[in-house]
Structure 1
Amino acid sequence: MKILLAIDGSEYSQAAVNQLAKMPFSPQTEVRIISVFDNSLLITSEGTPMGGWSRDLQQADAIARKAAMGKAKEAAKLLKEKNPLLLLTTTVQVGSPKHAILDEAEAFGANLIVVGSHGHSGFSRFLLGSVSQSVAMHAHCSVMIVRKQDE
């Protein structure tokens, strides 16, 4: 079985990591952890950096990439502690989380995608969009959406 775990470092994606860590897996199970950061807010409609601040943008991009990789490695460490036989890999992607998750699931050959849910409803979901909802609607495989439990 191949599982794609999508994380963003939020408490909601941590709930997905924790849920996955509790599950039993066969020794052949592969888990790929994907962390996606969207740097599109720093790019103009012409596809060039705002204000020509390319060095600053490169630094911001490097910082975001390092943070995303750190989150992925933390998730991998927790999963490996709970399930030492899991085959784990991590990847960091730049772009729209919805598209990056779907593209990675396809390329990886995932049988299951696991994502956290931010719990938006109604109008806020309409305004903000929902990565988990979009992934569930368009994925080629099953999707497990994990809600954060109230404490």
Structure 2
Amino acid sequence: MTINVKKILYPTDFSDPSAYALNYAAEMAKLFDAELELLHVMLDESQLVSFYLPQITVQNLAKDMEDGATAKLKDFIANAEVLKGVKYKYTMTKGIADEEIVRAAQASGADLIVIGTHGRTGFEHVLFGSTAEKVVRKAPCPVLTVRKKEED
């Protein structure tokens, strides 16, 4: 059996576990001479809580959040030394993270998803859930979950 990986999807939420997983995604892209697609999923306006604040609308808040996320993604990429020598592109989308990650993998024909995990357990896991776990269950391709060791 030959493993043929030409496209790797790497979703990021800019967290430490996600940044750590980028090392694996980039090294695998180099190893397989694959294209790396970086993806950030933002909440869309319908997921924002509507409330009244003087001089602020949900639309303005959503635009500010999108502008901030775009700047954060560009900064994240600019500071990622591990991306040197890697063919990559980046995209941003809005929606529910696990659903958008699976949708992006399907649309791009990803051969592999590399995703960081926080490693939450117990009550914290029940409360926050696990995007990585949902992606593993629904993904159209293999998923490599990367958890940062405590001593790292």
Q: TM-score, normalised by structure 1?
A: 0.80
Choose the corresponding residue for 2:20, options 15, 25, 29. Answer: 15
Using the TM superposition, give the Cα deviation of residue 14 of structure 1 relative to its aligned residue in structure 2, in angstroms.
Answer: 0.8
For 2:39, the aligned partner's letter is I
Superposition pairs for residues 38-77 of structure 1, below 5 Å?
Answer: 38-39=43-44, 40-43=46-49, 49-51=50-52, 56-77=57-78
Classify 1:52/1:63 alpha carbon distance in 2 versus 1 (closer, same or farther; 3 Å).
closer
Aligned to 2:120, the other structure's residue is in SS state coil
* Aligned-residue RMSD, C-alpha: 2.5
Counterpart CA distance in 1 for 2:48 and 2:10 is: 27
| Post-superposition CA distance 1:15-56 (Å, at most 9, x none) | 1113333443344x111111011244425xxxxx54598962
Using the TM superposition, give the Cα deviation of residue 75 of structure 1 relative to its aligned residue in structure 2, in angstroms.
Answer: 4.1
Q: TM-score, normalised by structure 2?
A: 0.80
- Alignment identity in percent? 31
For 1:8, the aligned partner's letter is D
Counterpart CA distance in 1 for 2:146 and 2:119 is: 10
Counterpart CA distance in 1 for 2:62 and 2:38 is: 20
For 1:108, the aligned partner's letter is S
The count of corresponding residues between Structure 1 and Structure 2 is: 144
Counterpart CA distance in 1 for 2:54 and 2:24 is: 41
Choose the corresponding residue for 1:35, options 32, 40, 44. Answer: 40
* Structure 2 gaps, min length 5: 1-5
Counterpart CA distance in 2 for 1:14 and 1:120 is: 17
Using the TM superposition, give the Cα deviation of residue 145 of structure 1 relative to its aligned residue in structure 2, in angstroms.
Answer: 0.8
Counterpart CA distance in 1 for 2:71 and 2:149 is: 24
Counterpart CA distance in 2 for 1:70 and 1:19 is: 23
For 2:48, the aligned partner's letter is L
